[in-house]
Structure 1
């Protein structure tokens, strides 16, 4: 456990007006933290601090410091500084890595092989299913899922990792004492209970501010080996994460969608610009071998059970698409009675070939 004086020095540095992650690193490159602690006003001027910054350094906001120390006294709460051995290596290597990371839960989760999964807050049934299926197979391959705890694809990614007993990390755009959205407070608790972590660069009592959410995206991509985008409109915030991933030298993967789906237009644009189109989890794992080593071996995929040999069921499956198909359409295309169609759909769902979604059924496997 680091000495309180050392921790307080980092907190004071983070409180300096006009000193963000980049300028903070530059300041530390000119002077050690210990030297800053011992410097008087003239010495601080020589280090490039202005009068306002010197005043804040010498007389920090004690109430704010006190609230942080009180937060750290609660079980499971930790603060990682940029020089901490537990600070995740991949994130430290990025430009603009936070000087401080507030962490709740299991710090070691931050250093496991992670893939960022981002996308729309209003996914289609097909998009939700894609995130679930890919997430399941990635977790089985030993990869943790990192996302932003938002509604939609973020939540699906976290929930899928938990269902597979895998690691998941949620990066918040608020302080960790102000979970947002509040609807996901139970999800946040489940993440902590199952060995994951909540992370934020914002002080624990920081509330919702719109400008903070794009900032948190660089941490999502920075913690991760690569970023997977599942359904993103052309103006989606997920595209910010995608751009940041590329700037950080990370892999970018995209799930294609229907040309009629406006939620997929941002994904198609990314593919046109060179992002890797993903058909299955193996497409991702093979690109991440440099990060994964032996951990990157795909677990044997559970082969679907053989279809019954009679033609009606085979014909029925041929008429269930990868976008939601309603029962009436399936019955009409397969030219089977509706009661027979319903029975065979249940059979196919139990065998793992299709899934029930709002609006009908979608196919989950290829032949």
Structure 2
């Protein structure tokens, strides 16, 4: 294949893309070779193209180059102006990501590349999450973006999806790190969310080449990117043995902050959070707990004065006896009625107002109070 056909890319991008196509070669090996041999990516690919590889170690690495993957990238780039290749030497490459032992040589980006170096906090958690957990993730995400912090997650169902959606409430960008190629969405049920993120000035990124489908071993690799490129990781609901805890542990190993939201001791999805807190993660119940630890000063609230007044009215409403009778766990309607000393039908009628205001949610089995309201 004639790599000069990659007219979208400058010579440096072309060279790094060719090196990255050797997917069986760890990035650290390329970076080590470049350092020890005093070569750059362009020189290596030129030597490879000319068949002039006298160094045996370099020749061994280059034999894994797959120019068919490079062609696949060219075709993907031609599909949309929102498709980008970000190399490890590019200004948009996340600076924190370079601290990995094997940082990706290439990132494939759909959407807003300028977000990649913005201050970020990861929000991760269980796929099989509770309604309350999803609401917590959504609330934290909305508050973080209101303070100028990009929310990064993994495009999974449950907590991840809720975090992305919460970040988009204020039309702020969010970053989804994918475990597939940029042209594949996993799970497929999040295809609409994937497109919404791009449309809302966010970015979907991956180190996997176009055409690569989901494999179990891809997701630990995705998790290391989430942990590395963010200032801290907030865990909302996780089992002890889960990919979420892998992300949290990777973050801790890299010296990043780890935050955990506590939950009911009888809930299996609280076990991971409680274990993290026992290991030294910071227990958080509000966004200011995060800003106490990370080096990002929150910006002023983005809303107008009339929005603040509406919040105050809601907060005043939240102090009354009926709302106090609803727990953050599922509370049966007969329990709520008994606590308020009123008939069940009356309690249900009055709770409708709170539901419309977003203070409670009706779910199978009763009601739950929503945090962050």
Matched with 1:305 is: 314
Q: Which whole-Å deviations, capped at 9, do the CAs of 1:95-123 have from their partners, x for residues lacking one?
A: 32211100011101212222111000011
**Counterpart residue number, 2:40:** 32
How many angstroms apart in 1 are the aligned matches of 2:191 and 2:356?
Answer: 32
Give the superposition deviation at 1:128: 1.3
Return the offset for 1:49: 2.9
Distance 1:10 1:351 in 2: 52
Shift of 1:61: 3.2
**Is the CA contact 1:125–1:358 (under 8 Å) kept in the aligned structure 2?**
no
1:282–1:298 Cα contact (<8 Å) kept = no
After TM superposition, list the pairs within 5 Å mapping 1:313-328 onto structure 2. Answer: 314-328=320-334
Residue 306 of structure 1 deviates from its aligned partner by 5.8
| Aligned position for 2:362 | 356
Aligned positions of 1:29-108 closer than 5 A? 29-30=35-36, 31-39=39-47, 44=53, 46=55, 48-49=57-58, 51=60, 53-56=61-64, 60-75=65-80, 76-108=82-114
How far did residue 94 of structure 1 move?
3.1
Deviations 1:223-274 (A, max 9, x none): 2111110000011110010011112221111001100000110111000000
Query: Alpha-carbon deviation of 1:358?
Result: 3.7
- Cα distance in 1, alignment partners of residues 315 and 109 from structure 2: 47
CA contact (8 A) 1:256 1:264 kept: yes
Aligned-pair RMSD on alpha carbons?
2.6
Which secondary structure state, in structure 2, belongs to the residue aligned with residue 92 of structure 1?
helix
Task: Identify if the C-alpha distance between structure 1 residues 180 and 306 changes in structure 2 by more than 3 Å, giving closer, same or farther.
Answer: closer
Q: 1:249 to 1:43 in 2, by over 3 A?
A: farther
> What is the aligned partner in structure 2 of residue 270 from structure 1?
276
Distance 1:198 1:325, change over 3 A: same
Are the counterparts in 2 of residues 104 and 176 from structure 1 also a CA contact under 8 Å?
A: yes
Partner of 1:16: 22
In structure 1, the partner of 2:165 is 159
| Counterpart in the other structure of 2:4 | none
**Aligned counterparts of 1:69 and 1:306: Cα–Cα separation in 2:** 54
Give structure 1 stretches of 5+ with no counterpart. none
C-alpha change, 1:359 and 1:263, in structure 2 (3 Å) is same
Q: Using a 3 Å threshold, how does the CA distance of structure 1 residues 224 and 308 change in structure 2: closer, same or farther?
A: closer
Change in 2 beyond 3 A, CA 1:37/1:365: closer
- Distance in structure 1 (CA, Å) of the matches to 2:47 and 2:315: 74
SS of equivalent to 2:339: helix
In the alignment, the residues of structure 1 paired with residue 273 and residue 23 of structure 2 have an alpha-carbon distance, to the nearest angstrom, of 38
Stretches of 4+ aligned residues off by more than 6 angstroms: 40-43
Change (3 A) 1:320 1:12: same
* Separation in structure 1 between the aligned mates of residue 316 and residue 255 of structure 2, nearest angstrom: 44
Aligned partners of 1:177, 1:365: CA distance in 2, in Å? 36
- Show structure 2 runs of 5+ residues with no match: 1-6
Change (3 A) 1:36 1:308: closer
